[in-house]
Amino acid sequence: MFFIASSYCENLNEFVLPKIVLHFLIWQLIIVQTIMAYIWFILNRIYFCTIMVTKVTDAEFFDELKNNDRVAVKFYADWCGNCRLFAPKFNRMSEKDEYKGVKFLDVNAETNPEARKLVGVQNLPTFAVFKDGELVTADFTSKEDVVDKMIQGIA
C-alpha cells in the first residue's frame, strides 16, 4: 500500500489527504495566483498604461520647446515630498484625451539651472506652460485643479 501523501480510511473506497498536504496545496495556489497577478500588473503598466511624461535636461528642454507648440513642465527635486506626491497626478494628466497635443516634461530643478532660470523657479513643485516656445504662465502649487486650469489655457 502507498502511504506517501495520503491515508486510507477504514472504508478503502474513500481517499483522504492529510490536512498538511491540503494546506500546502492551498498555499501553492495562493502563491501562484499572487505571482500571476503581479506579472499581469507589470505587463499592464508596460503595454497599456504608457506614461507620457518625459524627463529632460537643460539642452533637451530647449529642444522640446522648439519642437512642440504646447508644453507643460513640472519642476521637481528628488528630495521634495510634494513633488513625489504630485508625480502620479501629472502622469494621469498626460494621459488625458483632451491634452493629446500637449507635451509633458519633468525637469529636475537642481541639475538644470538654465530651464529653472527661464521660468523663475523659487519653490517646488513649480509648473509652467509654454505655447509656441513662449512662457504663458508658471505657478508654485500642489493642487491638481490649478495645474489642470493652466494646461487647459494652452490646450
Enzyme catalytic residues: 80, 83
Work out the burial of residue 81: count CB atoms within 10 Å of its CB; fewer than 13 is exposed, 13-18 middle, 19 or more buried.
exposed
Q: What is the 3-state secondary structure (H, E, C) of 86-120?
A: HHHHHHHHHCCHHHCCEEEEEEECCCCHHHHHHHC
Return the C-alpha cell found at 141. Answer: 502649487
User: Could you give the CA distance from residue 146 to residue 151 in angstroms, rounded to a whole number?
Assistant: 9
What is the distance between the alpha carbons of residues 65 and 45, in angstroms, rounded to a whole number?
28
Q: Do 124 and 109 meet the contact criterion of CB atoms below 8 Å apart?
A: yes
Q: Establish how many alpha carbons lie within 13 A of residue 5's alpha carbon, considering only the half-sphere containing its beta carbon.
A: 6
